[in-house]
């Protein structure tokens, strides 16, 4: 049976030019631990992408990147304000707490996966401060694109940055799908990060066509030594970092990273438009490569019988008996895959 892969963009393969770059790198010998020429080119490529010099630290996973970002920008007694469905809350098995030496996450509810400066300010003002007995909020973490498949505009980010910096807090961005946000937003990487006040971010290529390439990008050189020490201490310093760097270089070459992300976004739009056309309600605006849909159980069963793979978003049914599913498109999703899924669903509508 043909499989229709909508469970995760992690399920996709590797974009051929990225894999070719890894194979080419394997034919050479160079220095270890990031002191190689390929890593130097990666740093130059990232400086071009962000329109300024940046501090770059390759790590094997997005979880490591997020946890180390937060460990470097918060004291061990600090608290991170974040969305209640953020990846650092739901999917990282307390890694920020472990690598942050006891760091506390402070989840906040918000519509469509996006924190809003006014509601975060209200949350902070309503917290009962008992001095040394309570956890101080020391940073805000946002996700771009969000776990709901929505995006932050530069003004949204700037408002949160102003709030954070005005209270002596840092602003972290989880950029596992940053490429999708940039490709869809019509804004530059700089405008969606440091120019809007982001202090530090994780940047993921794995979901966007790489084999395994994640990085911490810091916009303040004062974070360099803490990140170097924390990365080594936590076991995430790659001896052959150049293979991760080779992936990033191929990913960025000639804007490939945005082309791959744009394809994923377009397939999500195709899917969203098709679902709407057959009367399926969508839970969130579709602004990147993730679609959340509310479906009758029979339609879900029929889609799975047709080979569709996806995750349920919630463990229980909606009040009307429908179930919410998450559908994720990738750089390798074909229009025929989208159409086959829509055909399986429309047969039950």
Q: Is the pLDDT of residue 128 over 90?
A: no
Q: What is the DSSP string of 60-95?
A: S-HHHHHHHHHHHHS-TT-EEEEETT-HHHHSSTTH
Token couple for 270: 């195709």
The phi and psi torsions of 106 (rounded to 5 degrees) equal -120, 85
pTM: 0.96
pLDDT at residue number 348: 72
Question: How many whole angstroms from its chain centre is CA 244?
Answer: 18
- The conformation of residue 140, written as its DSSP 8-state character, comes to E
pLDDT at residue number 258: 99
The upper half-sphere exposure of residue 122, i.e. CA atoms within 13 Å in the direction of its Cβ, equals: 8
Strand partners, 287: none
- In the block, tokens 């270089």 appear at 249
Contact by Cβ (8 Å): 163, 140: yes
pLDDT at residue number 315: 82
Q: Is the dihedral of CA 42, 45, 50, 51 positive or negative?
A: positive
pLDDT, tens digit (0-9, with 9 covering 90-100), for 317-336:
899 999 999 999 999 999 99
Least confident of 34-43, 125-134, 319-328: 125-134
pLDDT, tens digit (0-9, with 9 covering 90-100), for 53-108:
999 999 999 999 999 999 999 999 999 999 999 999 999 999 999 999 999 999 99
H or E, element range at 182 = helix 178-185
3-state secondary structure of 316: coil
Q: Is the pLDDT of residue 150 over 90?
A: yes
Mean pLDDT value of segment 11-40: 98
Contact by Cβ (8 Å): 80, 66: no
CB-based contacts of 90, cutoff 8 Å, min separation 6? 147
Percent of the chain scored above 70 by pLDDT?
100
Given the DSSP bridges, would you call strands 170-175 and 200-204 parallel, antiparallel or unpaired? parallel
Q: Is the pLDDT of residue 110 over 80?
A: yes
In this structure, the number of other CB atoms found within 10 A of the CB of residue 221 comes to: 10
Domains in the chain with CATH codes? 4-10+257-346 (3.90.1150.10), 15-254 (3.40.640.10)
């Amino acid at each position: 049976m043909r499989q229709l892969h909508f469970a995760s963009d992690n399920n996709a393969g590797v974009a051929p030019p990225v894999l070719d770059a890894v194979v080419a790198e394997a034919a050479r010998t160079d220095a270890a631990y990031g002191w190689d020429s390929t890593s130097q080119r990666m740093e130059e490529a990232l400086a071009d992408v962000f329109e300024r010099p940046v501090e770059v630290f390759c790590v094997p996973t997005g979880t490591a990147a997020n946890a180390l970002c937060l460990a470097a920008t918060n004291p061990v007694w600090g608290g991170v304000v974040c969305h209640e469905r953020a990846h650092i809350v739901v999917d990282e098995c307390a890694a920020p707490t472990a690598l942050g030496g006891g760091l506390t996450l402070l989840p906040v509810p918000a519509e469509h996966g996006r924190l809003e400066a006014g509601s975060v300010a209200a949350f902070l003002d309503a917290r009962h401060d008992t001095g040394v007995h309570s956890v101080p909020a020391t940073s805000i973490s946002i996700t771009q694109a969000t776990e709901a498949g929505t995006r932050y505009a530069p003004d949204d980010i700037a408002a949160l940055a102003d709030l954070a910096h005005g209270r002596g807090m840092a602003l972290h961005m989880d950029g596992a799908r940053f490429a999708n946000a940039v490709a869809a937003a019509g804004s530059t990487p700089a405008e969606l990060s440091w120019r809007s006040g982001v202090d530090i971010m994780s940047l993921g290529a794995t979901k966007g066509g790489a084999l395994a390439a994640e990085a911490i990008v810091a916009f303040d050189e004062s974070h360099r030594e803490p990140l170097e020490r924390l990365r080594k201490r936590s076991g995430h310093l790659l001896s052959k970092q150049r293979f991760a760097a080779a992936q990033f270089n191929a990913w960025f070459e000639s804007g490939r990273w945005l082309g791959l992300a744009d394809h994923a976004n377009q397939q999500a739009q195709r899917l969203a438009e098709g679902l709407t056309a057959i009367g399926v309600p969508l839970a969130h605006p579709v602004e990147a490569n993730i679609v959340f849909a509310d479906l009758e159980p029979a339609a879900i069963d029929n889609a799975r019988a047709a080979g569709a793979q996806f995750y349920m978003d919630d463990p229980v049914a909606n009040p009307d008996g429908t179930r919410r599913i998450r559908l994720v498109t990738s750089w390798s999703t074909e229009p025929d895959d989208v159409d086959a899924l829509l055909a399986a669903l429309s047969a039950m509508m």
